[in-house]
Amino acid sequence: MASESTIACPCCGRESGPPHRNTTFPFCSRGCKLADLGRWLDGAYALDPVSGRLEVVDPDEAEELDPDALH
Ligand SMILES: [Zn+2]
């Protein structure tokens, strides 16, 4: 029996997959998917339209987010 394909989550590095079972593949969880999307959006919209200040997201800070807290 072939082993199911899994990869390391690009956000936290935990095992993720397989795609047919994990709807958030290649991320291990919805929290990681949202965290990665948030980082991407922060890069695309780096200027805060309210304050006009440049927002910089620290990857180490993002990894401290609890996936369960993002509901
Ligand atoms: Zn993850």
* C-alpha 14 to ligand 1 mean position (Å): 5
Give 62's pLDDT tier (boundaries 50, 70, 90): low
Give 46's pLDDT tier (boundaries 50, 70, 90): low
* C-alpha 52 to ligand 1 mean position (Å): 31
Q: Which residues contact 59 (CB under 8 A, 6 or more apart)?
A: 39
Are the beta carbons of 54 and 47 closer than 8 angstroms? yes
Q: Which sequence spans correspond to the domains of the chain? A: 7-65
Average pLDDT, rounded, for the chain: 78
In this predicted structure, the answer to whether residue 71 has a pLDDT above a threshold of 80 is: no
Please tell me the distance from the alpha carbon of residue 3 to that of residue 70, in angstroms, as a whole number. 32
* C-alpha 26 to ligand 1 mean position (Å): 9
Are the beta carbons of 18 and 6 closer than 8 angstroms? yes
* C-alpha 71 to ligand 1 mean position (Å): 15
HSE-up of 36 (CA within 13 Å, CB side)? 15
